Amino acid sequence: MRYVTRSLALVFAVSAGVVAGGTQAGNPIDRIREADLKADMFALASDTMRGREAGTLDEMAASVWVAERAREIGLQPAGDNGTFFQFFPIDRFRVSASNRIGYAMMEAAVALPLALDIVNPVVVENCFPSGALRVWARDLCDRGFASIMTATSPPRAPHPSGGDPVVGTTPLCVAVPDPFGNHVIADMALTEATFGDVLRGDADETDIRFHSVGMWALAVALETMVRSMTTASNSVLFLAWQPTFKAAVEETSKRMDPWRMPGQTKGGGL
């Protein structure tokens, strides 16, 4: 089932020389105390905030708490209608916890009506996206939308230094549409082998490891980004938007000539 919820961002302006209490002081860094930082961190991470999931009343409660802290130190609201808040829509799928029909769910998600003048964040919850993300990114390209897409999965890969699996394979796909259908689509696995390779018998689970610490860090960051939008497991997040500069692919293709760019089927080179 599809839900359209509203999430929010905090927007404020800083007036020169304004500090807590509305008076000027010395170096603001000197006012930062460990006890204050710890109190704020424990307040936001407490059970009363219930995870602060995007698009929920829990997120609103956490945002109001942050806005009040901002007001206390003299920051001025610069959001909607003179408030600290700026709202934006989020498309979200919710299905039963046992549903893992990745193809059907992703097909429905990439067919959603998307706004033309903003970046559309779409979360597909409780979905294990069988197959390559490039399939769905190409569908978005055919509609004229660029996208960045990633997905979470059960922990299958350890830190490069060894140990137990701590993060999923976390694929990453970036796609930019071309008016003539010659889209640029880069779909990559961050690990040396994927779980799909294991299922096909082309690799062993011990082959699911990261090329470098940098790849591991990217996987952790992507997984954390998805989990900041939903508490559901095995979920897909994609951001989709219509490019402002329609000839980006054509101009870059000319610069890359004779090499063909990722995902392209036309032009020379490999």
Q: Give me the residue spans of the domains in the chain.
A: 7-89, 94-270
CA distance 175 to 188: 12
The dihedral over CA atoms of 119, 2, 128, 52, expressed in degrees to the nearest 10, equals 70
Per the model's pLDDT, the better-predicted residue between 61 and 10 turns out to be 61
CA distance 27 to 74: 16
Structure confidence at residue 94 (pLDDT) = 55
Is pTM beyond 0.75? Reply is no
CA distance 67 to 34: 21
Q: Reduced to 3 DSSP states, what percent helix, strand and coil does the chain have, rounded to the nearest 5?
A: 35, 20, 45
CA distance 209 to 261: 27
Structure confidence at residue 267 (pLDDT) = 47
Which CATH number does the domain 94-270 belong to among 3.40.50.720, 3.30.1370.60, 3.30.110.30, 3.50.50.100? 3.30.1370.60
Reported as type and span, the H/E element at residue 4 is: strand 2-10
Q: What is the mean pLDDT of residues 26-54?
A: 80
Structure confidence at residue 103 (pLDDT) = 67
Say whether pLDDT at 134 is over 80. Answer: yes
Give buried/exposed letters for 148-158 (b at 16+ CB in 10 A, else e): bbbbbbeebbb
Structure confidence at residue 19 (pLDDT) = 43
